[in-house]
């Protein structure tokens, strides 16, 4: 990839997402660029030449990251697209080797006699992140990384291609959630049973994938001298200022203070619905007349969001108009589209991208504001030329997203009209209801990686036990397979992004503080 090519790339400032150029990285050219950088650093250059070499390396990494992100997005848009899957498989197979090349630069930077100049130019966090990257990679684990990525892709393919039949209509794992908020309790039960029937049919594959992932990750950690994958992952994930013990203290606080509160919320929910007790298929329905829903479809919601962000600030106005003009949102659910929602960015092009699955529930507005929080942060960071600073670590990322959910409260009437107060209750209560679940996911993973030889049945039993600790109201007796403790298998973070979940709970506590302060003085 020549400099002339990248100058051409930078000229695409008005192109839509579908027009953004994608070129599979030329590995020979990439290796040659890395060799030039390492040769420069090996020649004992002065501080100025050292900094110039690091800037060249940062540029190479951002160019590579842009193509990688484009390939990932296009694959998740349609996991059945053979061309998109081929590009993803290229990155999956070659990424460990490219990481090895990048690590060769890291080692030279860390050994440089110009440490003070490097810190002065790029910050101390830059060095800390490089040190963590150096400690968590070695060429000996490359094959393990390739296999881990392959298994995660297999799980994504399974969930994205789910076809769940309910009364002759086929749903995927996103669209079936609409039935689970139906006012007819029998419809809800039928939908939840169908969802778990699909899970049971695929359980052998999913549990097998996860079992292999746990063992691979443990082997990788041991190969690099870590006592378990937990310690390894904390460092790999960039958690440089808190530990697993700190997280355990947080989880205990949630057990002591939040679980009793939200248990009362569930009891009040049962009374509102006229039920003696909430069961699993009732959990998503908060009101006897239905959850608050946006008063229009996808295009209507996006139109209202454009008005909201125009009012919120000049910066958000500019940001969201750009997202629309350049078609940087993919929000509609469809067959073979990956589940969930996320935000990514294309550093060389200076733009973020939002991916979601609208399913005609309250979550449509929530996920849009959530991912827009990520995207706005990425947009505001677009001029940074250090990859480590384009995104903060995960718990800080989620403060931006969850904070945006609350900072947009004054405009929720645009979406919900007369249901706005109902939405605010639903959203605020939901933020608190989430905390125990988020902590359960985290504690489950700590247990899993402390017991890597556990059987699938033992993992399900541990999840069931944790439901009793964090969600004591849960009654899955009408859905037998769920009652075995299998819900965690739907949580893709557990499979694909281990230990990325407590970040949401930590960030939620900060977002709630933003909400409180915004009520006191929005100008601040």
Concatenate the DSSP letters of all residues of 436-493 into one string: HHHHHHHHHHHHHHHSTT--HHHHHHHHHHHHHHH-TT---TTSHHHHTT-GGGG-HH
Residues with Cβ within 8 Å of 9's Cβ and at least 6 positions away in sequence, in order, are 21, 63, 66, 348, 349
511, 399 contact by CB (below 8 A): yes
Distance (Å, whole) CA 324 – CA 90: 30
Where do the CATH 3.40.390 domains begin and end in the chain?
298-418
3-state DSSP: the chain helix, strand, coil percent, rounded to 5? 70, 5, 25
Which CATH entry fits the domain spanning 298-418: 3.40.462, 3.40.390, 3.30.70, 2.60.120? 3.40.390
73, 375 contact by CB (below 8 A): no
Angle at 353 (CA atoms; ends 349, 354), nearest 5 degrees: 175
Distance (Å, whole) CA 104 – CA 108: 7
Angle in degrees, 0-180, between the axes of helices 394-407 and 502-520, rounded to the nearest 10 = 40
Instruction: Residue 508: name the closest of 348, 416, 400 by CA.
Output: 400
- Tracing tokens 């106005």 back to the chain, one arrives at 317
Distance (Å, whole) CA 233 – CA 238: 8
What is the predicted pLDDT for the residue at 240?
82
Distance (Å, whole) CA 329 – CA 281: 31
Distance (Å, whole) CA 40 – CA 124: 22
Q: How would you write the pLDDT of the chain (524 residues) with one tens digit per residue?
A: 444 434 444 556 689 999 999 999 999 999 999 999 999 999 989 999 999 999 999 999 999 999 999 999 999 999 999 999 999 999 999 999 999 999 999 999 999 999 999 999 999 999 999 999 999 999 999 999 999 999 999 999 999 999 999 999 999 999 999 999 999 999 999 999 999 999 999 999 999 999 999 999 999 999 999 999 999 999 999 888 899 999 999 999 999 999 999 999 999 999 999 999 999 999 999 999 999 999 999 999 999 999 999 999 999 999 999 999 999 999 999 999 998 899 999 999 999 999 999 999 999 999 999 999 999 999 999 999 999 999 999 999 999 999 999 999 999 999 999 999 999 999 999 999 999 999 999 999 999 999 999 999 999 999 999 999 999 999 999 999 999 999 999 999 999 999 999 999 999 999 999 999 998 987 76
Tell me the DSSP string of 173-220: TTGGGGGGG-S-HHHHHHHHHHHHHHHHHTHHHHHHHHHHHHHHHHHH
Distance (Å, whole) CA 118 – CA 41: 13
Distance (Å, whole) CA 343 – CA 310: 21
Burial status of residue 168 (CB atoms within 10 A of its CB: 0-12, 13-18, 19 or more)? exposed
Distance (Å, whole) CA 504 – CA 509: 9
User: What global pTM score does this model have?
Assistant: 0.93
Length in residues, the chain: 524
């Amino acid at each position: 990839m020549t400099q002339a090519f990248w100058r051409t790339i930078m000229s695409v400032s008005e192109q839509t997402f579908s027009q953004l150029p994608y070129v599979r990285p030329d590995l020979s050219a990439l290796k040659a660029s890395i060799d030039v950088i390492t040769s420069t650093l090996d020649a004992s250059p002065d501080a100025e030449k050292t900094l110039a070499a690091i800037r060249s390396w940062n540029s190479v990494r951002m160019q590579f990251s842009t193509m990688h992100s484009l390939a990932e997005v296009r694959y998740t848009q349609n996991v059945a697209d053979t061309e998109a899957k081929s590009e993803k498989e290229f990155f999956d197979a070659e990424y460990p080797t490219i990481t090895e090349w990048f690590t060769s630069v890291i080692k030279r930077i860390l050994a440089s006699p110009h440490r003070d100049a490097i810190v002065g130019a790029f910050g101390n966090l830059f060095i800390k992140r490089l040190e963590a990257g150096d400690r968590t990679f070695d060429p000996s684990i490359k094959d393990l990384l390739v296999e881990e990525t392959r298994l995660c892709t297999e799980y994504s393919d399974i969930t994205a291609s789910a076809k769940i039949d309910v009364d002759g209509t086929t749903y995927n794992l996103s669209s079936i959630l609409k039935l689970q908020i139906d006012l007819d309790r029998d419809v809800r039960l039928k939908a939840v049973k169908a969802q778990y029937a699909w899970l049971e049919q695929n359980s052998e594959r999913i549990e097998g994938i996860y079992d292999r992932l746990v063992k691979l990750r443990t082997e990788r950690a041991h190969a690099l001298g870590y006592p378990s994958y937990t310690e390894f992952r904390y460092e790999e994930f960039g958690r440089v200022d808190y530990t697993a013990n700190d997280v355990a203290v947080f989880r205990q606080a949630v057990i002591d203070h939040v679980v009793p509160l939200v248990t009362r919320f569930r009891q009040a929910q049962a009374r509102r619905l006229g039920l003696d007790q909430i069961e699993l298929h009732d959990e998503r329905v908060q009101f006897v007349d239905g959850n608050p829903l946006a008063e229009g479809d996808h295009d209507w919601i996006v139109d209202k969001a454009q008005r909201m962000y125009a009012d919120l600030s000049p910066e958000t106005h500019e940001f969201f108009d750009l997202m629309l003009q350049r078609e940087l949102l993919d929000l509609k659910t469809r067959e073979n589209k990956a589940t969930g929602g996320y935000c990514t960015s294309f550093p060389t092009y200076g733009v973020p991208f939002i991916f979601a699955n609208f399913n005609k529930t309250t979550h449509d507005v929530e996920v849009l504001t959530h991912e827009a929080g990520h995207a706005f942060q990425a947009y505001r960071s677009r001029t940074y030329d250090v990859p480590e600073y384009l995104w903060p670590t995960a718990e800080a990322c989620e403060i931006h997203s969850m904070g945006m959910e609350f900072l947009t409260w004054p405009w929720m009437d645009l979406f919900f009209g007369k249901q706005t107060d109902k939405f605010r209750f639903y959203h605020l209560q939901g933020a608190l209801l989430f905390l125990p679940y988020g902590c359960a996911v985290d504690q489950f993973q700590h247990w899993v990686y402390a017991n890597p030889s556990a059987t699938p049945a033992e993992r399900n039993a541990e999840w069931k036990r944790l439901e009793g600790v964090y969600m004591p109201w849960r009654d899955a007796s009408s859905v037998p397979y769920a009652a075995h403790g299998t819900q965690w298998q739907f949580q893709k973070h557990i499979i694909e992004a281990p230990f990325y979940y407590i970040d949401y709970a930590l960030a939620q506590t900060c977002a709630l503080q933003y909400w409180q302060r915004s009520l006191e003085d929005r100008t601040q």
